Chains A and B, each alone.
Chain A
Amino acid sequence: MIEKLDYQSAGLISGLEVHQQLLTDHKLFCRCPAGLYTRTHDGEVLRHMRPTLSELGEYDGTALMEFKTKKEIIYLLNHLNVCTYEMDDTPPFLVNQEAIDVAIELCLAMGMDIIDEVHIARKQYLDGSIPTGFQRTAIVGMNGGMPFHGRTLSVTHVSIEEDSCREVSDKGHRIVWRTDRLGMPLTETVTGPDLRTPQEVRDAITLCGLLARSTGRVRTGIGASRQDVNVSVRGGSRVEIKGVPKAAWAVKLVHNEAVRQVNLLRLRDELQRRGWTEPGHVRTHVCDVTDVFQGVDLGFMQRAIRGGGRIFAVRLEGGLGLAQWPTQPETTFLDELSGRIRVIACLDEAPIVLSGQQMPEFPLKHRTVERLRRKLRMADNDDYFIVFGPEADCRTAAEEIRLRFVDALKGVPQETRQSLAGGFTTFERILPGPDRMYPDTDSPPTRITADRVAAARARMRPTPWERFHTYGAWGVPPETTEYLIRRGGVNLVDAVVRLTGADGLLAAVEIGQRAKALHRKGLPVERLGEAEWVQIFDLYTGGRIPREGIQMLAAHMAANPGQSALGAMEALRIGIQPREAWSRELNGLSMEDYRIDKGDSDGKRLRFLAGRAMKMLLGRAPARDVAEYLRTRLTQEASR
């Protein structure tokens, strides 16, 4: 079992599929409002999914797997955010052109070639996450890239697609979905397999997020952007980790997946050592052993039997010890089996599957196990597995156990894995191939003219890498720039610098750092738009307010919507006064309460006085002038 991994020698390769919700008024193929989430429903629909026959009369692997599960699919509907399109009772309306425009802008930011004529395709999903059984999707751009770690992260294509349902529950043969999110426009950005370490994956996710944010036309918040991370090691296979919610999570997820693949490859070697090289070598024997466990004091088994279920055992010839093969720090091959069984056989009562090597303790265990071993005709180097539940599902589970061992002969099966907290993953489905895609005959293509691309280019805002470059040259710390991009503040800074001539660093710090502090205090500074900030900075660059006045005005205007910067200045009674006016006020300044216990110096005294002075003159005098005035005064006093 390895936990540390040299990624280079393991041949780690990773790429991203970044999904980003777009900020449009309506959904992609109907006129329902986008972004209106609800927690209640006023209708329910029941559906099933059937795989459609492919060209060769065969079913796509994923489709077949998902059909095997025989799920009852329930959709919860709310009339506020769902129409007959989402529930698949009306054909699509024409594709939302606003969404295509946003996608074009995103593509241009990555230097992509815009597709001349966009064609809608259908991508099959039979898990019920989309009521039609397919997602409508279309490539908008291809052949681009982003500057990344001193090289280029290639972007193979960007597509536009409709978002899926949100899962409410998945128990046994019944899965429930909420449909509010369904049909909202998303872009999917697919990078090349260019990432080599978990840290690079994290950084690439961050960069993609910043790029999307910098367009100003995407949704933010929980679930608004989700990424799938493709991972493989040398000799392994592409595994898609689905739904990574945060960039930081990717580090552990990618590492753990790499470890999993390396260990599965080692298991393959072990199987070869045992002479298992082809599917026929995996020999299992399925047996109903309900009678053996009839009176056994194990709650989950008794519940299964009482519910009309059975208990099945699968003997694996020569399989001793394989289930305990470690795959990750806290997982073994048994987890691979249980993941498949849970999803495909719909057996979801813990512990899902038991191995002969890891039977729980119960009274008369020894006798029961002996009976079981006799019934299964166990040989010394065999192992057995126990599953429990409805008979048909137990039989499916038994077959899945065999199939998973067959897959193990090749090392790593291609699959989609769901990301879980703590950096772990669990089986979600077999990775679908291109066979599940076919043209959407309901939608005409959209021609993208050169004029339209030019118009999109004119709307474009600077990319993150352009911003890091410009702001870096101004001396703005990268974290501040990143914060500004993330929160949309870059556009304010740009406007302020352009329109008021303010210093870039000062504008970035005032808007990116100081305003952030006001936000933390609960002041809605995000209310201040370009016009407000320009007014404030006009007063500053015009010498009407000192620097600290910027935040005072911002705070006041945030708390009093509609107030102008001038109005705020009057209300706060601030504004730079003539030197004679404020210097007079400083006559009364005293050194009272000055503590000298930690030493005394001119500098310390000056700072003490300046602090007092600025409190008195807040917003009415430039700090530098006050300090200079006090220094002169202290020098005069000392020489007196």
Chain B
Amino acid sequence: MSAAIPLNEREDRFQGYRGPARDALERHAIGVWSEVEIVNDRDSLFKGVILPRSETFDDLHIVVKLFNGYNVGVEASRIRTAVETGYRKAVYRIPEKAFPSDYRKRNVTLLGTGGTIASRLDYRTGAVIPAFTPGELYGAVPELADIANMDTKKLFGVFSENMGPEQYKALALAIGDEIAKGVDGIVVGHGTDTMSHTGAILSFMVQNSPVPIVLVGSQRSSDRPSSDAALNLMNAVRTAAECDIAEVMLCMFGPTSDNYDLLHRGTRCRKMHSSYRSTFRTIGATPLATVSREKNERGSHFTYLTDDILRRDKTRVPVINPAFEEKVTIQYYYPNFNPDIIDGLSDMGYRGLVIAGTGLGHINKPLYPAVKRAIQKGMTVVMTVQTIWGYAQMYVYDTGRDLLNLGIIPMDNMLPETAYMKLAWVLGQTEDPKRIREMLLTPVNHEITPREPHNGYLVLQGGLPEVEAFIGQHWK
């Protein structure tokens, strides 16, 4: 709450309002955050607070949050009288409580990139205000104090889709700094849309980590009572503090129920549903482990699903290599894909191209000359599969063999987005074609695996009786 500021001194008086709606605010000497009594041409009385208006809405209505809690849009041209009875500006602040410190607990640093993994809600606008300092975090998710001691660093405030080379480099360096300080684990708060992209690039930029590096986000924002954010955050902090896997991982819901999180390897997972909680899936392998709030029958919060992991070892020295070539692209092949596109990329000086081809890694013949020209100009062209699961095996059909002859490098079972990150990272370090090929095909952390276990391909096909029975019993 704040004292009334004179109308003409309120900077946000017309926030989001244009045209007739703005004129009405002007005419009636009211504005955003005014407590008002508005009477319209049918003598209906609206008592409430005027809210800012979204820029994307029309310019005809004024939004009032009524004192009964509902919002309504009042048509500006219907307003007969409007009186300001008070002024109440929203205060965007999260209550801070000192995060308790316990020498028996491990130390975890949370690096923020801009996701709202913990937040407070502005009840009037519905806006979400991210919690960030340890104190804010403790105010929002007090359970964290039972798990670890926490420090936080806000690196940037960007949406997931705005993450890019600059942020990747800064993040890798920040992780290096934290490791050097001796923390027991690192959590990176991240929007989910490009979380696996970041997971992949960090796997290349930060190698040989002594401690876990855990990316975490939420599919239902933390302003909702049913949010997955708090549980994800608790599980991620626990993973950073206690898990034995010192790799770059994503920690997100396993099933859609509030049950356990899966730890996915940064190079091997993908967001597979636009909105489901359990959207991240490990592709072509099994996840590394599960982590839950409750302990399992062996008294651990973790159930490891594989032995093939890099174990926590605080004596290990990490290698931070934040290289990134920006002139790299990814193209999803489709019938009628026009060769112009590849020529154009080549003309624009692109140094790397990841193709997501059909089947085992194919594109059609009309593209061959363009690909040949591009490779001759020095572009590295690599092949992945748009089936997502499976290997690019280009020696099986004539088409594939032709492409190999053109100089396209098959990426085996590397995921297209991971291949993009790896190509950018490799091209950021060398121009030598031999070295490029060698680096691409030498796995850093399971981005290529020699074999695919039969349970690494699991797409449950609902509707089938046996799948329904399974879902009914286990998919909770």
Residues of A within 8 A of B (CB): 41-57, 63, 79, 84, 87-91, 113, 115-119, 121-124, 126, 131-134, 137-139, 142-143, 157, 159, 434-441, 444-445, 447
Contacts and interface: CB of A to CB of B under 8 A. Distances in A.
A196 B466 CA distance: 60
Interface in B420-476: 462, 468, 471-472, 475-476
A379 B438 CA distance: 87
A132 B275 contact: no
Nearest to B61: A117
Interface string B219-244: 11011111100110000000000000
A48 B74 CA distance: 37
B230 A50 contact: yes
A47 B44 contact: no
B228 to A, nearest CB: 9
A478 to B, nearest CB: 32
Among A46, A50, A79, A142, which residue has the most Cβ atoms of chain B within 10 A? A50
A131 B226 contact: yes
Contacts of A134: 224-225
Contacts of A88: 220, 226
Contacts of B103: none
B140 interface: yes
A352 to B, nearest CB: 27
B75 A126 contact: no
A43 B73 contact: no
Contact of A434 (B69, B91, B225, B468): B69
A441 B258 contact: no
Contacts of A126: 225
Contacts of A121: 69-71
B72 A437 contact: no
Given A121-B70, A134-B225, 9 more contacts: A47-B226, A57-B93, A89-B219, A117-B74, A118-B73, A143-B43, A436-B69, A444-B56, A447-B61
A57 B95 contact: yes
21 contacts: A44-B476, A45-B256, A46-B259, A47-B226, A50-B225, A50-B227, A52-B121, A53-B95, A53-B140, A57-B94, A89-B256, A89-B273, A89-B275, A115-B73, A121-B71, A139-B66, A437-B68, A438-B126, A439-B126, A447-B58, A447-B73
B232 to A, nearest CB: 12
Nearest to A159: B70
Contacts of B105: none
A137 B275 contact: no
A434 B275 contact: no
A438 B61 contact: no
Given A46-B259, A57-B120, A435-B123, A119 B44 contact: no
B443 to A, nearest CB: 34
Contacts of B43: 143
B67 interface: yes
A140 to B, nearest CB: 9
Contact of A119 (B67, B72, B468): B72
Label chain B's interface by main secondary structure: loop
Contacts of A131: 226
B101 interface: no
B236 to A, nearest CB: 16
Contacts of A91: 275
B338 interface: no
B73 A117 contact: yes
Given A119-B72, A124-B225, A139-B70, A47 B126 contact: no
A91 B277 CA distance: 12
Given A43-B471, A43-B472, A53-B120, A87 B67 contact: no
B140 A132 contact: no
A441 B224 CA distance: 11
Nearest to B69: A437
B259 A44 contact: no
Interface in B81-124: 90-91, 93-95, 120-124
Contacts of A444: 56-57
B257 A116 contact: no
Contacts of B75: 116-117
B42 A113 contact: yes
B73 A116 contact: yes
A113 B44 CA distance: 7
B191 interface: no
A133 B70 contact: no
A434 B121 contact: no
B60 to A, nearest CB: 8
B275 A84 contact: yes
Contacts of A441: 126-127
B258 A138 contact: no
B199 interface: no
Interface string B36-76: 00001011110000010000111011010111111111110
B70 A438 contact: no
